[in-house]
Amino acid sequence: MNEQQGRRSDTLVWLITGSSRGFGRRIVEAALDCGDRVVATARRSTSLDDLAARYGSDRLLVAALDVTDADAATQVVGRAVDRFGRLDVVVDNAGYANSGSIEEMPAADFREQIETNFFGVVNVTRAALPVMRAQRSGLFLQFSSVGGRIGGTPGLSAYQAAKFAVEGFSEVLAAESAPFGVGVVIVEPGAFRTDWQGDSMTMHPVGPDYETTIGRIHEQRRHSDGTQPGDPARAARVLVDLAHGDLGQAHEALPMRLLLGGGAVDRVLNGEQRRLEEAAAWADVSRSADFPSAESGTTDVGTTTEGTAA
């Protein structure tokens, strides 16, 4: 896209984590190509040198950021505001997955995945939220995964646990920040042609008892890498259009969750249907845990609100 053709009058300021490759890289490019201003971050700022060379420094600020470092996240947010005067969109994208069985995965690896994939989101969100609250505007695009809603993939216990946590955290964030005009969208990609299951993933050896589950999936990953149906550049354009409101004509509000990719849609529709069927099948047993109603002698279901539910 020609920069002048793509430039919008309502330019936004973005902060994007994990910008060196994959979704992060594509979102940086899509935002810059439409005329927005971007703070692109990665663990090693040198991995972003080509972006700086291509786009210059007028609308791009490159910064090193380890998202597990809360103080560093606060400093980067400060630099973003000092440079561009505001902060409109935060993309919490940095993350990775290693695969191995629950009992065999090194404990340090498990914890590091949680630190990056979950606490990294927490750190950057907490750093940016005071700015957006003061502005009374802003948008968080919180990267989860289709596995963060419909989990159970053998080998991905740490990754999917972290993504489930991101979803719970982000739902509370949405409820707390809505009065300030701050929006939250949980992004749930399916299989995309990034290096998520390639160079970025360590597939730990598994014992013979796990060969038919995790071992089989490892083999499938090796053979399918590079053929995933999802196009990260197209997904990035969807997210940039979403942030600019260009997809809002047919919808009254931003989605709480945005699935990316047809496979993700199919997986969620099938998975949610199974959950609904299970909830209905066990409803009588579930309701029997309530106090009996004094008037009828039967269980009083009543209404449970988020304010009283665990």
The amino acid occupying position 211 is: E
Q: Quote the CA–CA distance of 12 and 253 in Å, as a whole number.
A: 19
Q: What is the DSSP string of 100-120?
A: --TTTS-HHHHHHHHIIIIIH
Enumerate the β-bridge partners of residue 189: 260
Q: Which of 20, 99, 101, 144 is catalytic?
A: 144
The H or E element that residue 31 is part of is: helix 22-33
Residue 163 annotated to the active site: yes
Q: Which of 19, 55, 145, 159 is catalytic?
A: 159
Residue 175 main-chain phi, psi, to 5 deg: -70, -40
Q: Which of 55, 99, 101, 163 is catalytic?
A: 163
Residue keyed to tokens 């069985």:
101
Q: Which of 235, 239, 237 is nearest to 263 (CA)?
A: 235
Residue 144 annotated to the active site: yes
Q: Which of 52, 255, 57 is nearest to 142 (CA)?
A: 255
Q: Which of 83, 60, 179, 68 is nearest to 126 (CA)?
A: 68
Enumerate the β-bridge partners of residue 14: 38, 89
Burial grade of 183 (CB within 10 A; 0-12, 13-18, 19 or more): buried
Assess contact for 123 and 94: CB atoms under 8 A: no
Q: Is 85 in a helix, a strand, or coil?
A: coil
Active centre residues (catalytic): 144, 159, 163
